[in-house]
Amino acid sequence: MKMLSAEIATSRFAYGANQKDLSNISHDPLQWLAEQLTPLTMPHSWHTLDAIQAEANYRMAKKQDSKVMAEPVMMNMMDEGQAKNMRLPSQKARRQAFKLAKESQISVIKAAAEKNNGFQYRLLDFFSNHFSVSQTNPKMRLLAPTLEAEAIAPNLSAKFSDMLMAVIKHPAMIYYLNNEQSVGDRSAIAKKRKNKGLNENLAREILELHTLGVNSTYSQTDVKELARAISGWSVNFNRNNKDYGFEYRKWAHEPGNRIILGNRYPAGEIEQGERILFDLANHSDTAVHVCFKLARHFIADNPDLHLVTQMATTWMKTQGELRSVILTMLNHPSAWDVKAVKYKTPRHFVISSLRASRAHWLAWAAPGVLEQMGQAPFNAGSPAGYADIADSWNGGKALVSRVEWSGFIAAKVKQEPMPLAENALGTRLSKTTRQAIQRAESRQQAMSLLLMSPEFQFV
Amino acid sequence: MLKRDFLKGLASGLLFLSTPAAHAATRALPASHNKNVVWIMLRGAMDSLHVVVPKFDKHLQNHRAALIKPIIDTLNPLDRGFGLHPSLETLYGWYQEKSLLPVVAVASPSRSRSHFFSQDLLESGNDQVDYQSGWLARALAQKQMQGLAFAHALPISMRGNQTVKAWYPSSLPSVDEDIYSQLMHLYDQHPQLQAQLQRGLEINQTMGEKNNLKRAPFNQLCRICGETLATTDTQAAMLEFGGWDTHNNQIPRLNRQLQQLDKGLQQLKVSLATQWQNTLVIIATEFGRTVKVNGTQGTDHGTASALFLAGGAVKGGSVMGEWPGLADHQLYKQRDLMPTSDIRSWIGAALQQHWSLNDAQMANVFPAVSVQKRSLIG
């Protein structure tokens, strides 16, 4: 067994170390990680209802605005161009809501950089990207951050089927992948309204991205059958209704038996789709797909396949209990390999740089810089999420951007670089980097060199 | 050696003084090197039946009346009874000038209907995905030409060639240049990071003030792309444009998408200036969409789509590609437009004719494909 080091535990599985982290956990780094396999308490309270209310307020204010704008005195102002620079109440309401949604994203980055449960935040990131939703329109801008908060954070150590069920029933996912209007072709509503029917977007991505994976052997018929099984899974966007959020619409559900991957699911209501999702979550292809992605995220772009097999075996034994699966990963020798081969993604780099320099108060700048680096929160632009391998992030210009971000932090941080370096990297701090920091001509330059050192870029 | 020269240049500031214009003035290159290629990847699967519309096909209305009726009278007429979506105004102008060549019913070898697999396969250009080697990078390598991808890291179609770089604008505050020479030194033991930083600094220098843009929407990237091709040694560029996955509300969404595409292409032509005459633009998407409208006024993932070849170098003004028909029995798996030719056979033919690549060179670019014999360039 390799020596389990606090340096590896913090850098590879969390957002790095600062202050006394390394000495605090060095007696049992594995235990420190294992203790974090619990539900995560989010650092913000931006929820589905807030998003729904903000959208409703906007629509109401907009109606009001158009009445006001139609009044003669306003029409005159419009003619004179005065109204152009005026901010209407509806626009103000919308901006305020966007601001709150964005602050929730900043609070996650800040907490990840500041708190001592970095492994939980890394797992949140991983699954949030596995179930990627993007802020492709105003409603999604408000809804996207609620998915990880409500469906992922509470299920970090649960069974994968629990997480999957929570995600697929979440308003953000249903709306993002257009299932809210998908109705069975033989459902009650489709008989009355001829232009209504199925939309297979969510069903396809469940099979291809969330569960079995593209290399599995499902067919177009399976996609269609799953779309039929989850037809009627929709969202109630009415804030005055206590049943806001996920809504099962019996009248939109396709009646009849379904056959998926050769298994027959008898006719039924919502439980028909639930049974299918449960079986998909416990399929061996799903186990391999998700375990491979976990190992790739934390350990190496091309992870040891023995590790993946062990994790998938645990998955099948425990009905996809994530806590056990992740412990299997942590107990495998390759998790503690001293060779650091994983190139940090921009998000990992930005958050870990804030942590190492104890500059979590600069988290406000992170969404902007991540946008420039191509990894803005909730903006992958595709349900596949952001790529998780070095080839997707190692452009030359991208490295220059990292240097510039390091310079931005360095200009704001007043602490001595060498103690920060030692606290962050411990025994991973190389002689070369130590020398470079010592010889730097300014504190600022020393900070940049620390954050740009090879041992800070690779974990 | 390369590194020492670089540091010397860095120290004297010479590297940061040389301008793109200086490059252009000093270049004396073989003829093929003055011929540019712009490769635009439409990510998300563009619905070709909504863009190059087969008005003449009597089955069209049966499959998608809700999508077709609102646009059918506004289409711009093309060859063979096809109609071009009205949002593509600039492109229609090009068609009339004979510098736009739509090719219908094309597909890559992918039949999976997965965006991500199909994009990777189209970019790689082989029968199996090779994540480390893309067709445009291979084509550039045949003539030792340089390429540029407007992206954060090299997309697959630009991988496998050391002279291809990735660039995008960012407005982070720039840092004291001295830090770069210190980092080059710090990376002595880490050649990978050292090479990466060197490429970054080189491309930053090539792009000059364009580095200071805060962000660049597609039309701005098109402008920057045109300027870069017109003024530097870069022969080929790749742009990406997403947002085509229209599972719902397709009509308004495609109106917007196509307007943006059209605006970007207009900018590209303007900024290429006279170099437009020597440019081949290739616009493609990973697959087409279902022939039938779905239950939410959109379309789901399909198979064959359309390809656009454009630019002053192209022999345009007609629609190519065999039309498979839209009767139920003519569809692929009773649902998608049937592919009648391999998209790579057209891209390959255009590249071969544009850059005068011989058959041996073409075999390195698209090993598994025999290219079309028709004349597409000139």
Residues of B in contact with A407 (CB under 8 A): 173-176, 179
Question: What residues are paired with A265 via a beta bridge?
Answer: A258
**Nearest beta carbon to residue B172 from set A196, A200, A404:** A404
Find the residue in A nearest to B205 (Cα): A397
Nearest CA distance, B204 vs chain A (angstrom): 7
Binary contact (A178, B298; C-beta < 8 A) = yes
d(CA A9, CA A157): 18
CB of B65 within 8 Å of a chain A CB? The answer is no
pLDDT per position as a tens digit, B220-270: 999 999 999 999 999 999 999 999 999 999 999 999 999 999 999 999 999
Nearest CA distance, B195 vs chain A (angstrom): 8
Q: Is the pLDDT of residue A294 over 80?
A: yes
- Please report whether residue B20 resides in a domain: yes
Binary contact (A382, B154; C-beta < 8 A) = no
Find the residue in B nearest to A202 (Cα): B247
Q: Is the pLDDT of residue A56 over 80?
A: yes
**Nearest beta carbon to residue B172 from set A178, A369, A381:** A369
Label residue A3 by pLDDT band (50, 70, 90). low
A198: left (phi over 0), alpha (psi -120 to 50) or beta: beta
Q: Is the pLDDT of residue B324 over 90?
A: yes
Binary contact (A177, B203; C-beta < 8 A) = no
pLDDT per position as a tens digit, A362-405: 999 999 999 989 999 999 989 999 999 999 999 899 999 999 99
Q: What is the span of the domain harbouring residue B206?
A: 2-27+36-365
Binary contact (A195, B176; C-beta < 8 A) = no
Residues of B in contact with A395 (CB under 8 A): 151-154, 165-167, 196, 199-200
Find the residue in B nearest to A410 (Cα): B175
- Interface probe for A, chosen from B10, B43, B114 (most Cβ of A below 10 Å), is B114
Residues of A in contact with B167 (CB under 8 A): 395-397
Nearest CA distance, B193 vs chain A (angstrom): 8
Q: Is the pLDDT of residue B26 over 80?
A: no
Find the residue in B nearest to A206 (Cα): B114
Label residue B158 by pLDDT band (50, 70, 90). very high
Residues of B in contact with A198 (CB under 8 A): 294-295
Label residue A74 by pLDDT band (50, 70, 90). confident
Q: What's the pLDDT at B31?
A: 66
Label residue B30 by pLDDT band (50, 70, 90). low
Q: What is the SS3 assignment for chain B?
A: CHHHHHHHHHHHCHHHHCCHHHHHHHCCCCHHHHCEEEEEEEECCCCHHHCEEECCCCCHHHHHHHHHHHHHCCCEECHHHEEECCCCHHHHHHHHCCCEEEEEEEECCCCCCCHHHHHHHHHHCCCCCCCCCCHHHHHHHHCCCEEEEECCCCCHHHCCCCCEEEECCCCCCCCCCHHHHHHHHHHHHCHHHHHHHHHHHHHHHHHHHHHHCCCCCHHHHHHHHHHHHHHCCEEEEEEEEECCCCCCCHHHHHHHHHHHHHHHHHHHHHHHHHHHHHEEEEEEECCCEECCCCCCCCCCECCCEEEEEECCCECCCCCECCCCCCCHHHCECCCECCCCEEHHHHHHHHHHHHHCCCHHHHHHHCCCCCCCCCCCEC
Nearest CA distance, B276 vs chain A (angstrom): 27
Of the listed ranges A31-35, A65-69, A212-216, B330-334, the least confidently predicted one is A65-69
- Please report whether residue B377 resides in a domain: no
CB of B208 within 8 Å of a chain A CB? The answer is no
Amino acid found at B219: N
CA dist A268 → A271, B214, B319 (Å): 6, 53, 50
Residue (of A221, A244, A189) closest to A54 by Cα position = A244
- Please report whether residue B375 resides in a domain: no
Q: Is the pLDDT of residue B180 over 80?
A: yes
Share above pLDDT 90 across residues of chain B, in percent, rounded to a whole number: 82
Nearest CA distance, A10 vs chain B (angstrom): 23
Q: Is the pLDDT of residue A427 over 80?
A: yes
- Interface probe for B, chosen from A181, A397, A457, A458 (most Cβ of B below 10 Å), is A397
Q: What's the pLDDT at A65?
A: 85
CB of B170 within 8 Å of a chain A CB? The answer is yes
Please count the structural domains in chain B: 1
Nearest CA distance, B128 vs chain A (angstrom): 13
Residues of B in contact with A371 (CB under 8 A): 215
Mean pLDDT along residues A227-232? 98
Interface size A-B, in CB pairs within 8 Å, comes to 174
**Nearest beta carbon to residue B203 from set A396, A408, A453:** A396
**Residues of B (301-340) whose Cβ lies below 8 Å from A:** 301, 333, 335
**Residues of B (230-249) whose Cβ lies below 8 Å from A:** 242-243, 245, 247-248
Q: What is the SS3 assignment for chain A?
A: CCCCCHHHHHHHHCCCCCCCHHHHHCCCHHHHHHCCCCCCCCCCCCCHHHHHHHHHHHHHHHHHHHHHHCCHHHHHHHHCCHHHHCCCHHHHHHHHHHHHHHHHHHHHHHHHHHCCCHHHHHHHHHHHHHCCCCCCCHHHHHHHHHHHHHHHHHHCCCEHHHHHHHHHCCHHHHHHCCCCCCCCCCCHHHHHCCCCCCCCHHHHHHHHHHCCCCCCCCCHHHHHHHHHHCCCEEEECCCCCCCCEEEECHHHCCCCCEEECCEEECCCCHHHHHHHHHHHHCCHHHHHHHHHHHHHHHCCCCCCHHHHHHHHHHHHHCCCEHHHHHHHHHCCHHHHCCCCCCECCHHHHHHHHHHHCCCHHHHHHHHHHHHHCCCCCCCCCCCCCCCCCHHHCCCHHHHHHHHHHHHHHHHHCCCCHHHHHHHHHHHHCCHHHHHHHHHCCCHHHHHHHHHHCHHHHEC
**Is the distance from CB of B228 to CB of B149 less than 8 angstroms?**
no
CA dist A429 → A152, A360, A422, A444, B234 (Å): 35, 22, 7, 18, 40
Nearest CA distance, B340 vs chain A (angstrom): 21
Label residue A82 by pLDDT band (50, 70, 90). low
- Interface probe for A, chosen from B15, B47, B165, B196 (most Cβ of A below 10 Å), is B196
Binary contact (B202, A396; C-beta < 8 A) = yes
Tell me the CATH number at B235: 3.40.720.10
**Residues of B (266-285) whose Cβ lies below 8 Å from A:** none
The size of chain B, in residues, is 378
Residues of A in contact with B206 (CB under 8 A): none
Nearest CA distance, B149 vs chain A (angstrom): 10
CB of B63 within 8 Å of a chain A CB? The answer is no
Q: What's the pLDDT at A85?
A: 65
Residues of A in contact with B196 (CB under 8 A): 394-396, 399
pLDDT per position as a tens digit, B96-136: 999 999 999 999 999 999 999 999 999 999 999 999 999 99
Q: Is the pLDDT of residue A1 over 70?
A: no
- Please report whether residue B256 resides in a domain: yes
**Is the distance from CB of A173 to CB of A130 less than 8 angstroms?**
no
Label residue A83 by pLDDT band (50, 70, 90). low
The chain-wide mean pLDDT, for chain B, equals: 91
Q: Is the pLDDT of residue B150 over 70?
A: yes
Q: What's the pLDDT at B214?
A: 75
Nearest CA distance, A163 vs chain B (angstrom): 24
Binary contact (B152, A397; C-beta < 8 A) = yes
- Please report whether residue B56 resides in a domain: yes
Nearest CA distance, B99 vs chain A (angstrom): 32
Q: Is the pLDDT of residue A87 over 80?
A: no
Q: Is the pLDDT of residue B3 over 80?
A: no
Label residue A356 by pLDDT band (50, 70, 90). very high
Q: Tokens 């003619």 correspond to what residue?
A: A79
CB of B295 within 8 Å of a chain A CB? The answer is yes
Label residue B13 by pLDDT band (50, 70, 90). very low
Q: Tokens 């699911």 correspond to what residue?
A: A265
- Please report whether residue B378 resides in a domain: no
Residue (of B236, B205, B281, B308) closest to B34 by Cα position = B236
CB of B179 within 8 Å of a chain A CB? The answer is yes
Label residue B21 by pLDDT band (50, 70, 90). very low
- Please report whether residue B136 resides in a domain: yes
Label residue A45 by pLDDT band (50, 70, 90). very high
- Interface probe for A, chosen from B294, B331, B332, B336 (most Cβ of A below 10 Å), is B294
Nearest CA distance, A401 vs chain B (angstrom): 7
